[in-house]
């Protein structure tokens, strides 16, 4: 008895159509789950990034608020920052608190040249204060030129010694608690050490530098 021939194509088609629906459903569900996980992960990353940016903005804002510059005080005319205060000593080749190329804040050299601090003669008579460069109708550079080589009279009230000094630099830094910086030679003539109290006033422009008679 002859057996009926089977068509391989029809057999394959029949097998494909009889594949369990649950298998197809599982595969689709898996793909959907993967897609959702990817979206969730991206959303989480975006949220974290946004949170980080927000935190950065807040921190930057706080930092800006802390470092916001103060409104400068504008003087009607140049005036001494203080009439008395604690003294400091600076300048000369042996001053290791500054770099060799650091320049003076005031243009005290010929033709308005800014001299180097290390080139100052420690035996000469010079000084520094925290000048206010904000003056009405004057630019900061004009104020610097106004103060450059101005003569100040510094007095040690304890012994009566006084010296005439020329203004050459800006300082000392306010963190030091000092109000005026002077040369080693001036400190010796006054008989003062760092931190001692002195009186400060403008001197006659015609006064000679050094100890007063």
The answer on pLDDT for 66 being more than 80 is no
- What is the mean predicted confidence (pLDDT) over 173-190? 97
Q: What is the average per-residue pLDDT within 132-160?
A: 97
| Pick among 2.40.40.10, 3.40.50.720, 2.40.30.10, 3.40.50.2000: CATH of 84-211 | 2.40.40.10
Cβ atoms of 101 and 117 closer than 8 Å: no
d(CA 184, CA 124): 8
Query: Backbone dihedral region of 145: left (phi > 0), alpha (psi from -120 to 50 degrees) or beta?
Result: alpha
Looking only at the bridges linking them, the beta strands covering 126-129 and 180-182 are antiparallel
pLDDT band, very low/low/confident/very high, at 52 (cuts 50, 70, 90)? very low
- Report the alpha-carbon distance of residue 98 to residue 154 in Å, rounded: 24
């Amino acid at each position: 008895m002859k057996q009926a021939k089977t068509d391989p194509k029809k057999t394959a088609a029949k097998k494909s159509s009889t594949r369990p629906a649950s298998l197809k459903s599982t595969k689709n569900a898996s793909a959907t789950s993967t897609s959702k996980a990817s979206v969730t992960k991206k959303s989480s990353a975006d949220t974290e990034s946004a949170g980080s940016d927000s935190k950065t903005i807040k921190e930057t804002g706080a930092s800006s608020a802390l470092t916001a510059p103060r409104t400068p005080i504008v003087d009607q005319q140049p005036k001494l920052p203080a009439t008395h205060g604690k003294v400091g000593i600076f300048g000369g080749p042996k001053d290791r608190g500054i770099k060799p190329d650091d320049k003076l804040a005031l243009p005290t050299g010929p033709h308005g040249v800014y001299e180097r601090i290390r080139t100052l003669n420690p035996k000469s008579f010079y000084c520094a204060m925290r000048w206010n460069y904000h003056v009405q109708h004057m630019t900061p550079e004009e104020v610097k030129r106004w103060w450059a080589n101005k003569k100040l009279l510094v007095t040690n009230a304890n012994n009566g010694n006084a010296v005439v000094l020329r203004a050459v630099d800006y300082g000392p830094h306010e963190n030091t608690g000092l109000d005026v910086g002077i040369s080693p030679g001036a400190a010796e003539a006054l008989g003062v050490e760092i931190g001692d109290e002195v009186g400060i006033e403008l001197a006659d422009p015609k006064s000679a530098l050094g100890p007063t008679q």
